[in-house]
Structure 1
Amino acid sequence: MTDFVGLTWDHPRGRHALEAAAGDLGDGDTLRWEVQSLEGFESAPIAELARDYDLLVLDHPHLGDALSAGSLRRLDELFPDELRRRWEADAVGPSIDSYRWGGGLWALPLDAATQVSARRTALVPTAPATWEEALDLADRGLVATSLAGPHAFLSFCSIAVSVRTEAAPADALFDRQTSERALELLTRLSAHAPAGTDRLNPIGLLDRMRDHGDIGFIPLIYGYVTYSSPEVSFGPPPTHDGRIGSTIGGTGIAVTYRTAPTPALLRHLAGLLEPETQRGFIPRHDGQPSMRAAWTDAGVDDAAHGFYSATLSTIESSWVRPRVPGYIPFQSHASAVVRSVVRGDRTPGDALDEIEERFAALPTTEEIPA
């Protein structure tokens, strides 16, 4: 008999389905979940958390540091090949691929999310299709951008994916011209945002859009199905020459190395990815499923006010961040640097020099450390 404990993030989307499915796993095993803030989920060191928990809900860029510390178990060794092949075929976008590193699978993609656009339908009846149209809305004070925590850098990256015209150098995320254009666009989009929105995380921004009505459009924000309604509508981000830029997020469930997973625990985890669970249990408990069977289910989509059909093409083409050791601290620092430019405290050239220098200092290959 084993009493397992997991750590997830404190939002209905992150906890309700996991908590409802937990409890008695069979064979005398039990599972309970504790929670941390969204900010903890985005930046807390996985190696430290892995010493205290059997299961961790994490984002894929944490893999480099987690594996450097030997914190996680390879799921290839815990689940049969046939089951993993089915997940690979059925997961929406790069949801499962983002948790692959060095030939191994390190987390199960329970929740799928990427940056999409959100609009208050009464203020913005038709979503802007291009960045130029979004800038017109920004000049009218109707646009807020997601800048808090790591999101300034993530917004910058997604705009860069959309506007880039050439391949990046080997030691950079993007070529310099693309980075300059992306930083300029993000700065202009943010120039007339409602006061205080630059300090809000995605949940706070969507709360304010829904409850106060002074935000008409957010061009890039991680999609939260729990906010989809006739008043708040989600869709693709603005495009450049028809190209969508979006940085995938979502969550995966990882098994820590301190844990000896039992058959009952593995059956429970696999059951969370079953089609009937993804189409039924997960959405009924405020979750955001990771399997295409749920995203393309008409009933699930109707209950979510069209959230899934409106954002499917965005997640299918979304960009995967690096997973090298040191990426999470780099992302936090780079986001602060981007915010300093948006607020007018630094010049774009100086800021990009620093970001490029720090990125170039990260490991250049995604090899699992020995």
Structure 2
Amino acid sequence: MTTDVIQGLTWDHPRGFVALDAASRLDDAAALNLHWSKQPLEGFESHPIADLCDRFDLVVLDHPHIGEAVEAGCVWALDELFAPEELRAWAAQSVGPSYESYAWQGRQWGLPLDAATQVAVARADLIDARLPATWADVTALSRQGGVVLSVAGPHAMLSFCSMMAAWGAPPATDPKAKPFVDEDTALEVLDTMATIFGGMSEAAHDLNPIRMLEWLARSDEARYCPLIYGYVNYATSASGRKAVQFLDTPVRTAGGRHGSTLGGTGIALSRRAKPAPALLDHLRYLMSARAQTGFIPSHEGQPSHREAWRDASVNAAAGNFYRNTLATIEDAYVRPRCAGYIEFQTRASAAIRSALASRTPHRQLVSGLNLGFERLNER
């Protein structure tokens, strides 16, 4: 008698694949017959979630997809599968808003397997002065060269949202709230982005965060990025690759908010899955303190458990990646999760990138962002 294969989908990077694949081969999981496939980062960010749930049992997803997944009825609500006390414990242990980001309409739809947010990254060996602490420091350094923004794909929009949070005016998360962004603050943020963008290498324009970090680690062309999704894998050196230093994001003024837009990954069960006890036990293991502070970090993963982010041995092995960025993730901005948001994010990012590249006035852009977000109410 053969056991049906449980199909899982994650994204194509060691951080997203190695620990999941290794965990599926543990003795306790061998009988599950769990197989993990990979999709590109761009698919993780924007591929229609209903299509993925039609083809896979376990889906590693970005939290803004939750609203569309719920609207499509393609994922299990976790209160149907786990006891309330388990959900409360996972909520309490998870760093920043990573657990809450997978909640929608009063129910939980995913578990925060991995935690990440936009952080700053530096090649400290290429910066003679102290590392930037404020956005004024960032713009001053950018005039000397070597400062880049992450703007490829959805990341122009995500960097914009992070800066809005740092300026004290995070974007709205409910389309019924008007406006999406405060116009005066948005214009100031976009002017700052334009200053940095205008001086950065064109080689960085089309780099997703993984490729940007590879470039920073392997080339001396750039030395600082104020906002990029943190990947612990680059905090230590490797063959042909230097270590980069991850830091809290800049603040607008001393004592201000470390503006950052939450990322990370959640794991959801599609409605095609058969949530047998053994499969649920495997998810319990992945969320356990034992896995989160030991197995996952030792297999190139990036845990969501706050204990791991504070653990001395975990930090020692990761160039203090977690300790150096903990304040940023604890106060991260959570994007909207309503149906239609992913499409809006894609369009908004393209519009921001176009405005930065063409150096056009920003007032019309801000008006378009506010109108586009308001139209999500029409769905």
Query: TM (normalized to structure 2)?
Result: 0.93
Aligned partner of residue 367 in structure 2, secondary structure: helix
Of the three residues 41, 44, 66, the one matched with 2:47 is 44
Q: 2: CA distance between counterparts of 1:214 and 1:80?
A: 52
Q: Does 1:32 align with 2:35?
A: yes
1:90 and 2:104 aligned: no
Residue 177 (structure 2) pairs with residue 173 (structure 1): no
Contact 2:59 2:268 in 1 (8 A): yes
What does the per-residue CA deviation read over 1:75-117, in whole Å, with 9 as the maximum and x for residues that have no partner? 1110111211111111000010000111111011000000000
| Deviations, residues 134-172 of structure 1 (Å, cap 9, x unaligned) | 001111111010000000000001001111359969222
1:201 aligns with 2:201: no
| Secondary structure in 1 matching 2:153 | coil
Of 184, 190, 193, 1:186 maps to: 193
Q: Does 1:286 align with 2:288?
A: no
Q: What CA RMSD, in Å, does the superposition of the two structures yield over aligned residues?
A: 1.7
How far apart in 1 are the matches of 2:202 and 2:153? 17
Percent identical:
46
Structure 2 portions without partners, runs of 5+: 238-242
Say yes or no: does 1:238 pair with 2:245.
Answer: no
2:288 is matched with which residue: 249, 269, 274?
Answer: 274
Shift of 1:28: 3.9
Deviations 1:219-278 (A, max 9, x none): 000000000137410001111122210000000000001112110000001100111111
Give per-residue Cα distances to partners, 1:62-85, cap 9 Å, x unaligned. 011111111100011101112111
Shift of 1:6: 0.5
**1:138 corresponds to 2:142:** yes
- Which aligned pairs between 1:205-244 and structure 2 lie closer than 5 A? 205-229=212-236, 231-241=243-253, 242-244=256-258
Q: Secondary structure at the match of 1:200?
A: coil
**1:17 and 2:19 matched:** yes
Range that drifts further, 321-330 or 135-144:
135-144
Q: Partner residue of 2:350?
A: 336
How many aligned residue pairs are there?
Answer: 365
Say if 2:169 and 2:181, in contact at 8 Å, map to a contact too. no
Q: Is the deviation greater in 173-182 or in 264-273?
A: 173-182
Tell me the CA shift for residue 181 of structure 1.
1.2
Moved more, 119-128 or 36-45: 119-128
| Displacement after TM superposition at 1:31 (Å) | 0.5
Give 1:350 deviation, angstroms: 1.5
Separation (CA, whole Å) in 2 of partners of 1:14 and 1:330: 25
Distance 1:116 1:249 in 2: 11
Mean CA deviation greater in 347-356 or 258-267: 347-356
Task: Verify the 8 A CA contact 1:76 1:105 in the aligned structure 2.
Answer: yes
The more displaced of 174-183 and 245-254 is 174-183
Deviation at 1:26, TM superposition (A): 5.2
2:99 aligned partner, one-letter code: I
Confirm or deny that 1:156 pairs with 2:168: no
- Render the CA deviation track for 1:196-218: whole Å, top value 9, x for unaligned: 10110001111110001211100
Check whether the contact 1:109–1:253 (CA below 8 A) recurs between aligned residues: yes
Report the 3-state secondary structure (helix = DSSP H, G, I; strand = E; otherwise coil) of the residue aligned with 2:119. strand
Contact 1:27 1:264 (C-alpha < 8 Å) held by counterparts: no
Residues 25 and 265 of structure 1 are in contact (CA less than 8 Å); yes or no, is this contact kept in structure 2? no
